[in-house]
Structure 1
Amino acid sequence: MGGESNPIDSVGIIMHHTLTRSMLLCLAFITTPAVMAEGSVARALFASDILDREPIDELGDVIKVEYGEIQRVYFFTDLREMDGSQVSHVWKLNGEVEAEVSFDIGGDRWRIWSTKRLMPGFDGKWSVDVVKDGEVLETRSFDYVDEW
């Protein structure tokens, strides 16, 4: 008996290894939602106005300069699972930062918006980055076109 292995012990070891692997696999699946719970941008769009916390329309990729008028463009975002975080809208014109607006997120679904007043002479490629903890979550852009 000294050099022989017990078949019952071998089965026990195999079951132990299988159980250990299964537990580790389950832990991987359990911890994955915690990573996903960092939040997401459900919607991000440009609008001409916001009414009752919702955009009234969605502006296209091109907005034309209206002489003698100041156009206000709203950037709306619908955020999910970011309660307690801070999120910023970073407005850029041709890649240069023009404004940064920060928001404290107070719920699992939080709708926020910022605005930019566009006047003649502000034409070019506008973009807004949605930033959380230094990471760009979403970017949207439009061309502000002067056709005169």
Structure 2
Amino acid sequence: MKKIIVLGLLLNILLFSSNSVAKVVRHQLAQSIEQREPIGDYAANVTVKAGELKKVFFFTQITDLANTQITHRWFYQGQEKAVVTLNIGSDNWRTYSSKMIPSYWSGTWQVQVWQEDKLLLSSEFTVTQEP
């Protein structure tokens, strides 16, 4: 009888634990954000005119992570340039961060999406300088 009770308790813990697996269902490197939706898709290449700055947005839609936080980490050629912590308010949440990129930071960029110590997504893009 004790084994059945212990087994039942373990099963309840597994079924009703709050350790859901978060999912990034959409992400996009965008030119702007309007009403929490990305506008203009950079795909994998951002062009910046010489001597100018370009504001770049990284949009993330995430599920199953209500009332927690994610982190966007921006890297330029392997060096961390920005860390942005974002609150997640429900189990289906749209959020974003942005980075001002000067033309002299042309090269390989990466945005990583983290939940605590778990990497959820890594997205690379290239910045090129126009004359």
Q: What range is the shorter-chain TM-score in?
A: 0.7 to 0.9
Ranges in structure 1 where 5+ consecutive residues have no aligned partner: 1-19
Q: Of Structure 1 and Structure 2, which has the larger fraction of its residues in helix?
A: 1
Q: Indicate yes or no: 2:87 matched with 1:107.
A: no
Q: 1:79 aligns with which of 59, 62, 65?
A: 62
After TM superposition, the structure 1 = structure 2 runs for residues 68-147 of structure 1, keeping only pairs within 5 Å, are 68-146=51-129
Q: Is the 8 A contact 2:103 2:128 kept in 1?
A: no
Q: Distance in 1 between matches of 2:29 and 2:51?
A: 22
Q: How far 1:69 sits from its partner (Å)?
A: 3.0
Worse overlay, 119-128 or 56-65: 56-65
Gaps of 5+ in 2: none
Aligned residue among 22, 35, 50 for 1:52: 35
Which aligned segments of 4 or more residues in structure 1 are displaced greater than 2 angstroms?
30-38
Structure 1 distance, partners of 2:92, 2:17, is 17
What is the one-letter code of the residue matched to 1:140?
S
- Write the distance in 1 (CA, Å) between the matches of 2:16 and 2:130: 49
Aligned with 2:45 (options 62, 70, 81): 62
Q: Kindly tell me the number of residue pairs found equivalent between the two proteins.
A: 123
Q: C-alpha separation between the residues in 2 aligned to 1:43 and 1:116?
A: 19
Distance apart, 1:65 and its partner CA: 2.2
**How many Å separate the matches in 2 of 1:111 and 1:121?**
31
Q: Tell me the equivalent position of 1:17.
A: none
Residue 120 of structure 2 aligns to a residue whose secondary structure is strand
Larger radius of gyration: 1
Instruction: Tell me the C-alpha RMSD between the 2 structures.
Output: 2.3
Alpha-carbon separation, structure 1, partners of 2:73 and 2:112: 5
Q: Greater shift after overlay, 56-65 or 84-93?
A: 56-65
Moved more, 64-73 or 54-63: 64-73
Structure 1 residues 92, 45: CA separation in 2 closer, same or farther (over 3 Å shift)? same
Alignment identity in percent? 30
